[in-house]
Amino acid sequence: MPLCFNSTTKEPYLRLAAPHSHIIITPHRSDPIADGIPARIEILNHPAVYMCLEGPPYPHLQEHAESWCNGKRDEMQEVVESLVCEFQEPSRNGEKARIFDKCPFTCIREVTEESSDGDPLTDVFIGDIGLVRYSFYEFRSGSDERQAARDRNNAIPGGDENIVWQFGDYLAPSHHGRGIMTGVIRSVIHDWAVPRMNVRDIRASAFVGNQGSLKVFLKNNFEETCTLEDWAPVSESRGGGTRSIVVVKWRGMN
Ligand SMILES: CC(C)(COP(=O)(O)OP(=O)(O)OC[C@H]1O[C@@H](n2cnc3c(N)ncnc32)[C@H](O)[C@@H]1OP(=O)(O)O)[C@@H](O)C(=O)NCCC(=O)NCCS
């Protein structure tokens, strides 16, 4: 599905293709309830989710969720405003589409009610997808090499094909195993990252044994590049120690 615009709420969004067309991916919203902060906290405190993730703090508290959502909303504000103008100013039609340096479509939501025109009216937050500049997992966490590689990558101007990107994602356990994240990754790549960010190089990583996550990427034309044994430090609240990770790389449009 192409990029969509909700003419009722003035929100740009991505909609998954059938059979998942009730799933949309939106930017953050200013109202905490509409944004889905309570659902986000519940999901990130579920062991089927937090034990698979390196990043978000666990236990995940209200202040963590608010700070994350406010930060992302501010970071994406300019992109979202520009997209709203694109949809609202028909005179711009025919202009070459602007290339952006960010993906504002991060909140995965299940639509529960639609207008007669098909605009989503109510929905429930069910997960998160992030496409950000790569962390260079191949270098040890905290190492100078990792920082130098990140600095080089971060310094490349937006829209350049040489930027290396990475995905991070999670979904509510109530919705696992229905093909949703496979469709989400596909939509973000095809409907936004390639046409509107000029993305060509995407990586991701998963803890060894996270078959669901690996399969989602393999089904989207990623391939395994390496397994790094005892590599990722795990927070004490998640049991401590280190976990082995598998790194995958996108092979391009299929
Ligand atoms: C990983 C995750 C995002 C997958 O999302 P999902 O929507 O459930 O995945 P899909 O339904 O698109 O599944 C894709 C494939 O993986 C399989 N799969 C899903 N979960 C699986 C599991 N726990 N074990 C084995 N296979 C699994 C599906 O059966 C499907 O394969 P198929 O098409 O051959 O049937 C989700 O399970 C999740 O949020 N897990 C916790 C957080 C996490 O691991 N995030 C990724 C960190 S790297």
Task: Summarize pLDDT for 176-212 with one digit per residue, the tens.
Answer: 999 999 999 999 999 999 999 999 999 999 999 999 9
Residue at 212 is within a domain:
no
**Cα distance between residue 4 and residue 13, in whole Å:** 5
Distance set, CA 129 to CA 28, 83, 87, 108, 156 (Å): 12, 19, 24, 7, 23
Q: In angstroms, what is the span from residue 191 Cα to ligand 1's centroid? A: 21
The response to whether residue 182 sits with its C-beta less than 6 Å from ligand 1 reads: yes
Mean pLDDT of the chain: 96
* Ligand 1 close to Cβ of residue 164 (< 6 A): no
Per DSSP, the three-state class of 84 is helix
Give the chain's domain count: 1
**Spatial separation of the C-alpha atoms in residues 27 and 37, rounded to whole Å:** 13
| Any domain includes 228 | no
94, pLDDT greater than 70: no
pLDDT confidence tier of residue 174, bands split at 50, 70 and 90 = very high
- pLDDT of residue 46 exceeding 70, the answer is yes
Q: Which residues pair with 206 in a beta bridge?
A: 246
* Model confidence pLDDT, tens digit, residues 107-119: 999 999 999 999 9
Q: Does the CB atom of residue 105 touch ligand 1 within 6 A?
A: no
- 244 falls within a domain: no
Ligand 1 and 50: CB distance under 6 A = no
Q: Is residue 220 part of a domain?
A: no
Is pLDDT of 92 > 80? no
CATH at 162: 3.40.630
Would you say residue 184 lies in a domain?
A: yes
The closest residue, in CA terms, to atom 20 on ligand 1 is 212
Within a domain: 242: no
- Determine whether the shortest distance from the Cβ of 185 to ligand 1 is under 6 A: no
pLDDT of residue 254: 65
Per-residue pLDDT at 91: 66
Q: What is the pLDDT of residue 89?
A: 85
Domain interval for residue 119: 3-202
- Residue 93: pLDDT over 80: no
Is residue 214 domain-resident? no
Among 23, 25, 44, 181, residue to substitute to test ligand 1 (most atoms within 8 Å of Cβ) = 181
